[in-house]
């Protein structure tokens, strides 16, 4: 874990703690988590090369389509049904977390496990474009009969949050590249401030819940790690004949998700368990990198691996 990763963890959990401990101090942030999320995605999309979608060979498109279907439909549906049976209170939080898009920082995080970066970047772009339709659709299909789900509102909200930052990035690359470069240089501190603002706005609303249900935090941390293991395992399992870099990319694409988007999205439509589980997923998002690398090393998966694009020595 790098120093930046450690600082990010400290900021995320200290601001969430302060929001719960002193909720009245952060009332000013409560109306704006959606806009903070858009700015955070804008900062992340600045680093994404949208040219990765240009590989339209049949093999690349078939592999991408299979993994997108698993990521946005099959995996969240199966895990939702399993949770309904084992831990029903977390069925909806697990559905939202499992059905969200691959994280915009996933291509860069994937280099830490020597994954094929271009494959992860494709998943980031394609799932980000599709999730405003796929996730609300899954929610409506699976739980819409039991609760009132404003499908159209969810679609509009996700589409606005994702497509607007993409459009602004493309516009600035064309007409304001100097300004974009200057903002990119300040990306880390701006991201930290935005993470803090999102936490203040979301978690200050649920202060009383956390006081009354402190044990839910431990449950959420444990469940987040279990989900991360499942995501990685499924990614490896569905690509048995691919080269090692692509198998790692599949695992990273499923496990390195846009959990912050779930925090913002779920806080507007669901109860506190959804943003809580999404927030706790930041632990395995970073910490699972080490056990994944060690597991792959000692099981021999990396022993014959040839260097792949984006590999970090």
Rg (CA), the chain: 19
Q: Is the pLDDT of residue 189 over 60?
A: yes
Is residue 238 classed as helix, strand or coil in its secondary structure?
Answer: coil
- Distance between CA 273 and CA 150 in Å, rounded? 19
Instruction: Report residue 66's pLDDT band, with 50, 70 and 90 as the boundaries.
Output: very high
| Cβ atoms of residues 161 and 264 within 8 Å | yes
Considering the domain boundaries, does residue 304 fall inside one? no
Considering the domain boundaries, does residue 82 fall inside one? yes
Considering the domain boundaries, does residue 309 fall inside one? no
The pLDDT assigned to 97 comes to 95
Question: pLDDT by residue (tens digit) across 85-132?
Answer: 999 999 999 999 999 999 877 876 777 777 887 888 889 888 988 888
Considering the domain boundaries, does residue 285 fall inside one? yes
The pLDDT assigned to 53 comes to 63
Judged by average pLDDT, the poorest of 20-24, 151-155, 249-253 is 151-155
The mean per-residue pLDDT over the stretch 276-305 comes to: 72
Q: Which residues fall within 8 angstroms of residue 239, CB to CB, at 6 or more apart?
A: 63, 67, 246, 247, 250
- Distance between CA 194 and CA 191 in Å, rounded? 5
Q: Is the pLDDT of residue 138 over 50?
A: yes
The mean per-residue pLDDT over the stretch 238-245 comes to: 85
The pLDDT assigned to 300 comes to 56
Q: What angle do CA 94, 68, 285 make, to 5 degrees?
A: 50
The mean per-residue pLDDT over the stretch 244-252 comes to: 88
Judged by average pLDDT, the poorest of 5-9, 138-142, 167-171, 243-247 is 5-9
The pLDDT assigned to 254 comes to 95
The residue ranking higher by pLDDT, 108 or 267, is 267
The mean per-residue pLDDT over the stretch 165-179 comes to: 89
The residue ranking higher by pLDDT, 30 or 82, is 82
The pLDDT assigned to 230 comes to 96
The pLDDT assigned to 310 comes to 41
| Cβ atoms of residues 68 and 130 within 8 Å | yes
Which of 6-20, 156-170, 221-235 is the most confident on average? 221-235
Domain count for the chain, please give it: 1
* Number of separate helices (H) and strands (E) present in the chain: 17, 0
**Residue 238, Cβ neighbours under 10 Å: how many?**
18
Taking each helix axis as running N to C, give the angle between helix 91-99 and helix 215-237, from 0 to 180 degrees, rounded to the nearest 10. 40
Considering the domain boundaries, does residue 51 fall inside one? yes
| Cβ atoms of residues 278 and 96 within 8 Å | yes
CATH number at residue 95: 1.20.1530.20
Q: Whose CA is closest to 98, among 266, 219, 295, 217?
A: 266
Range of the domain at 89: 3-298
Instruction: Report residue 240's pLDDT band, with 50, 70 and 90 as the boundaries.
Output: confident
Q: In degrees rounded to 5, what are phi and psi of residue 257? A: -100, 170
Q: What is the pTM of this model?
A: 0.78
Considering the domain boundaries, does residue 149 fall inside one? yes
Q: Is the pLDDT of residue 313 over 90?
A: no
Is residue 257 classed as helix, strand or coil in its secondary structure?
Answer: strand
Q: Is the pLDDT of residue 302 over 50?
A: no
- Distance between CA 39 and CA 164 in Å, rounded? 10
Considering the domain boundaries, does residue 303 fall inside one? no
The residue ranking higher by pLDDT, 200 or 37, is 200
Considering the domain boundaries, does residue 308 fall inside one? no
């Amino acid at each position: 874990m790098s120093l930046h990763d450690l600082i990010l963890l400290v900021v995320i959990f200290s601001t969430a703690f302060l929001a719960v401990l002193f909720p009245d101090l952060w009332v000013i942030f409560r109306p704006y988590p959606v806009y903070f999320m858009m700015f955070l995605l804008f900062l992340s999309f600045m680093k994404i090369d949208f040219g990765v979608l240009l590989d339209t060979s049949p093999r690349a498109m078939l592999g991408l389509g299979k993994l997108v279907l698993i990521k946005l439909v099959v995996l969240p549906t199966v895990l939702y049904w399993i949770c309904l049976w084992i831990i029903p209170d977390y069925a909806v939080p697990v559905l939202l977390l499992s059905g969200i898009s691959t994280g915009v920082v996933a291509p860069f995080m994937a280099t830490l496990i020597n994954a094929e970066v271009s494959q992860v970047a494709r998943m980031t772009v394609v799932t980000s474009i599709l999730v405003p339709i796929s996730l609300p659709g899954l929610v409506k299909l699976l739980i819409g009969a039991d609760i009132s789900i404003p499908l159209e509102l969810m679609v509009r909200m996700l589409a606005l949050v994702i497509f607007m930052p993409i459009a602004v990035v493309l516009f600035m690359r064309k007409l304001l590249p100097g300004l974009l470069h200057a903002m990119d240089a300040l990306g880390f501190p701006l991201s930290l401030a935005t993470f803090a603002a999102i936490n203040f706005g979301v978690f200050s609303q649920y202060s009383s819940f956390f006081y009354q249900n402190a044990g839910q935090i431990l449950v959420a941390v444990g469940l987040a790690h279990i989900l991360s293991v499942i995501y990685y395992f499924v990614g490896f399992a569905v690509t048995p004949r691919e080269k090692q870099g692509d198998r790692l990319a599949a695992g990273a694409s499923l496990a390195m998700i846009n959990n912050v988007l779930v925090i913002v999205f779920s806080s507007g439509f669901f109860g506190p368990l959804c943003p809580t589980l999404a927030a706790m997923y930041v632990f395995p998002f970073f910490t699972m990198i080490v056990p994944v690398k060690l597991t792959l090393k000692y099981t021999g998966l990396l022993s014959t691996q040839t260097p792949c694009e984006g590999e970090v020595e």
